[in-house]
Chains A and B, each alone.
Chain A
Amino acid sequence: MFAYEFMRNAFWAATFIAITCGVVGVYVVARNFSFLAHTLSEIGFAGAAFAVLMGLKPLTGMLIFALLGSIGVGELSMRTEQKESSISAISALFVGLGILFLSLSSSASSYATNILFGSIIGVSRSSVYQLVGLSIIVLILILAIQRPINYDSFDHIGAVAHHLNTGLVGVLFLVALAMAVSIGSQVVGSMLVFVLLTMPPSTAKYLGKSIPSMIAWSVGLALAGVWIGLCLGYITNWPVTFFISIIEVGAYLSVYFTHSRRKRV
């Protein structure tokens, strides 16, 4: 399997993306941002489609749209009372725009499939470098703000009482999230990037009792999902995204039910 360069590239890219999504996801779940992450991936989809129309790389368009969208949607989700409805409206608008951009460009169907459902097997060496570089930037950003982001994400009221600049922390986290969504979409596609961003950390919530242990579980589960998914995809020729989804959802459900049963006893 590793004799093929495309498989080696896929493993490298998937490894870094899993680490990034595993780390960022712990904060997505702690801040109840799962829905926001999903919306950002849809905004990213429109960005990627726009880039295709303009003859740019889909990742570039996705990054620009997701970064701009993260600030707008983040502001909205923090200030508006109709939080869910307004985010839904933005989601709908950007999915609509994405479809329009794709239909206006000539290579609609293959690009649409790649953007929506992932195309990890087709990742080139230069894309791998790009994804690894972006992953490292996200991880450095999270590490740089780890103390305030830990406090704000896991005890917002305590953080405010401690005069922490929670607004700034929130914006920096949205930037990290937008980047994680954009790079995560390269593996599982924008439709399912929230699988990597929410499932491993949601499972980790039941397995770890401290932030480092939750991050370790979340990254471990994300890595297991993408590695096993890639192997199974290679063997069966079925979509890698399908395997990643069922592995992550399966892990979540089994841990959730074990935890519920233990709580009842």
Chain B
Amino acid sequence: MSKALQVVDLSMKFGDQEIFNKLNFSLEQGSMTALLGPNGAGKTTLVRILMGMLTPTKGYYDLADDVKVGYVPQFRNIDPDYPLSIRSFIELNTPFFKSQKVKDQVNHILQETYLKGLADIRMGEASGGQKQRAYLAQALLDQPNFIILDEATASLDPKAKEELMNLIAHLNEEHKMTVLFVTHDLALAKRYMKDYLYLSGGTVQQGKMADFKERFN
């Protein structure tokens, strides 16, 4: 299998504070990896570097030429009065006058993320699980083949967690999408993810999820 991402000697410091030092790892195309680690280990920082939103202090990363990354950030500003419907939220990064192709694409993604019948609900009134699926759907509109989700299940109830994880598993199995899933939820990671990256104390370990033995908060 070819590599989707190669990280080489990646280091990051904020002022004097070292977040991580010389990280080396790679992700295969179509892999499903949990990015684990205690609070403050630098998981979000690593993701933000991979998304080009932060510049590493040293080292580099390489994405394969045919890789297109989609990103679902950890926090969103959606208050209970937020007016847009789920459909309008997903369509935010599309032209004002939408072609039939764009409309079809949005409908297809709504279907795939189990949001078709909920498309007219306001985002502010949607449940946590519906919101997370809408965030994912918005990222999927770019047709990525590598998706990074940052703590996507953190505030969800068990049923919503399961729905989202099944959806992510579906994307990985049916569409061969590479998944990097940042989480604190070890039980969930063991159930759904195949590989792990464990970021702790400024270093990274990599392996099969079934072999993961560490404990962290």
Q: Does A associate with B in a complex? A: yes
Q: Is the CB of B84 within 8 A of A211?
A: yes
Q: Is the CB of B75 within 8 A of A150?
A: no
**Interface positions of A from 116 to 147, Cβ below 8 Å from B:** 143, 146-147
Q: Is the CB of A158 within 8 A of B92?
A: yes
Closest to B125 in A: A263
- A178 to B75 alpha-carbon distance, docked (Å): 31
Q: Is the CB of A210 within 8 A of B88?
A: yes
Minimal beta-carbon separation of B104 from chain A (angstroms): 18
Minimal beta-carbon separation of A28 from chain B (angstroms): 14
Q: Which residues of A contact B89 (CB under 8 A)?
A: 154-155
* Binding site secondary structure of chain A: helix
Minimal beta-carbon separation of A145 from chain B (angstroms): 11
Q: Which residues of B contact A79 (CB under 8 A)?
A: none
**Interface positions of B from 11 to 64, Cβ below 8 Å from A:** 51-53
Q: Which residues of B contact A158 (CB under 8 A)?
A: 73, 76, 92-93, 135, 138
Interface residues on B, range: 20 to 34
B9 CB–A CB distance under 8 Å: no
Q: Is the CB of B83 within 8 A of A161?
A: no
- A147 to B95 alpha-carbon distance, docked (Å): 6
Q: Is the CB of B85 within 8 A of A210?
A: yes
Interface residues on A, range: 20 to 34
A261 CB–B CB distance under 8 Å: no
24 contacts between A and B (CB under 8 A): A150-B92, A150-B96, A154-B92, A155-B77, A155-B92, A155-B138, A157-B76, A158-B92, A158-B135, A158-B138, A159-B93, A162-B93, A163-B52, A205-B83, A206-B83, A208-B83, A209-B84, A209-B85, A209-B88, A209-B120, A209-B122, A210-B85, A210-B88, A212-B96
Chain A residues at the B interface, C-beta cutoff of 8 Å: 143, 146-147, 150-151, 154-163, 205-206, 208-212, 214
Chain B residues at the A interface, C-beta cutoff of 8 Å: 51-53, 71, 73, 75-77, 81, 83-85, 87-89, 92-96, 120, 122, 135, 138, 142
